[in-house]
Chains A and B, each alone.
Chain A
Amino acid sequence: MKLSWRKTPIAGIIFEPGSSAEYRTGDWRIEKKPIINQDKCIRCLICWIICPDVSINRLQKPYGKYEETIEVDYYHCKGCGICSAECPVKAIEMVEESRVVA
């Protein structure tokens, strides 16, 4: 629901802090999305540090010997592939969107 010019906040100001999280940058992805192989992943957190869009989530979900699970936030991930390129154990594969069953 887009606002009319009369209802648009003055000077385009955003009065609600943190609201940029609502912006779905995930639909900027055009080719591939990162898929994390939970068995290969060693929880080193390199992807979490280097992701330029803060789209790697650390979830308190135990998996095997690990206490947390590393997941991609696809609502914001733009599919740049940096996480996949930097992963030291090649646990992140960039997969054609069309071949991924959501």
Chain B
Amino acid sequence: MPGAYTGDEAAAYAAKQCRVDVVAAYPITPQTIIVERFSDYVADGEVDTKYLYAESEHSAMSACVGASLAGARVFTATASQGLALMHEVLYLASGLRCPIVMAVVNRALSAPINIHGDHSDMMGSRDCGWIQLYAENAQETYDLIVQAFKIAEEETVQLPVTVNLDGFTVSHATESMKVLSDEDVDKFLPPRKPIFKVDPETPITVGAMALPEYYYEVKRQQEEAIQKSKGVVKMVGDEYGKFTGRRYGFMETFGLEDADAAIMCLGSTCGTVRSVAKDLRAKGKKVGLIKLWTYRPFPTEEFLSTIKDLKALAVMDRAISFGAPYGALCSDVSSALQNTGMDIKVMNMIYGLGGRDTPPSTVREVFDEALRTAKTGRVKERIRFLDVRE
């Protein structure tokens, strides 16, 4: 069914159709519309959901963990400082294997205070053990949330998932998109079957202390689960594709079959990159795009097979890893390339911090630089800060 939705509205609508049992949330710009819209559904009796108005994001995520352990299907959403305040509880959600789904509307972290989009919030919590998906637009936000529940609740996975959408660029822009009927979502996503739950009839101990003798084993098992979830991400993406005609998975590429130079990035900027790449290809330039839907687990093998014929790759990071050799995404790319013997020149482009616009002219500049590097085999600058006043 076609409709017009902002990214935030699309997220709320997806959560509604996924028949979540519990939403515990706290509003924060630019995520507010998600929880606002969802509380409308609750007030209008359109959903059978227990809605908890928490006093902070720390409490919201704590309530989500409790509800999830009791066997509920749980959704929440946050952004920026809210995600930062949840930080310690994010590790509980993944460590206790709670298949919670959370929309993260990416927004810059303070200071200076700012409400606009960048990826510093999610990158700040990137090692929290959650599966992390990035949407390019409202359509993908909707599609990924529906898939996220299916991935999270798969028996072998049992892990929480974030669906990331860029603040304002996606969250507040209205797009025409397709949504499924309620019946179709029900067909695709059956009710949750918890593999264990907190239940007075059969008491279990959750959150017991694990000292040096056992902590490591529990964490090793958790790492196995997120690595193995790759198969599930792919399976669910294929299944969703058969169901809707919109196939998902680890990544989407454009022009990679014969590209010399490509840009890799996350989120809404992929749209700008694709459009510029199309223009350049029409002029005979061999450029391409690698858009990552699945940032965690990082699809190392699939990524390497995608880039095997590339000469130069510009990795765009919308967050600084302060004091590090590269931004987060570029660090992953260079570690994936380690010991493969592949000679691909990698350069890191930091962009769009605090909502700084990244127009097509900037992307063209990056492609020019990548093409030059592909030709000369020399990287001029390991890391560049795009569109900052020098």
Contacts and interface: CB of A to CB of B under 8 A. Distances in A.
Interface of A: 2-6, 8, 10-15, 17, 19-20
Contact of B196 (A4, A8, A13): A13
Contact of B218 (A11, A17, A19, A20): A11
A63 B97 CA distance: 53
Contacts of B196: 10, 13, 15
Interface residues of B, number: 21
Contact of B204 (A4, A5, A15, A20): A15
Interface of B: 95-97, 158, 195-196, 203-206, 208, 210, 213-218, 220-221, 224
A20 B205 CA distance: 10
A15 to B, nearest CB: 5
B158 A12 contact: no
B208 A12 contact: yes
Contacts of A20: 205
B204 A11 contact: no
Listed from nearest, the 6 A-B pairs whose CB atoms lie closest are: A14-B205, A5-B217, A5-B220, A8-B217, A12-B218, A11-B97
Which residue, A3, A8, A11, A20, has most C-beta atoms of chain B within 10 A? A11
Contact of A2 (B195, B203, B206, B213): B213
A20 B215 CA distance: 17
B220 A11 contact: no
Contacts of B217: 3-5, 8
A42 to B, nearest CB: 38
Given A5-B217, A5-B220, A5-B221, A12 B203 contact: no
Contacts of A10: 97, 158, 195-196, 221
B205 A13 contact: yes
B371 to A, nearest CB: 47
B218 A8 contact: yes
Contact of A13 (B204, B213, B216): B204
B209 to A, nearest CB: 9
A62 B272 CA distance: 87
Contacts of B195: 10
Contacts of B95: 11-12
Contacts of B97: 10-11
Contacts of A15: 196, 204
Contacts of B205: 13-14, 17, 19-20
A15 B206 CA distance: 9
A93 B390 CA distance: 77
Contacts of B210: 12
A10 B225 CA distance: 10
B274 to A, nearest CB: 40
Contacts of A5: 216-218, 220-221, 224
15 contacts: A2-B214, A4-B217, A5-B217, A5-B218, A5-B220, A5-B224, A8-B214, A12-B210, A13-B196, A13-B204, A14-B204, A15-B196, A15-B204, A17-B203, A19-B205
Nearest to A4: B217
A23 B206 CA distance: 17
Nearest to A10: B97
A84 B204 CA distance: 35
A11 B203 contact: no
Nearest to B96: A11
A11 B214 CA distance: 11
A94 B14 CA distance: 66
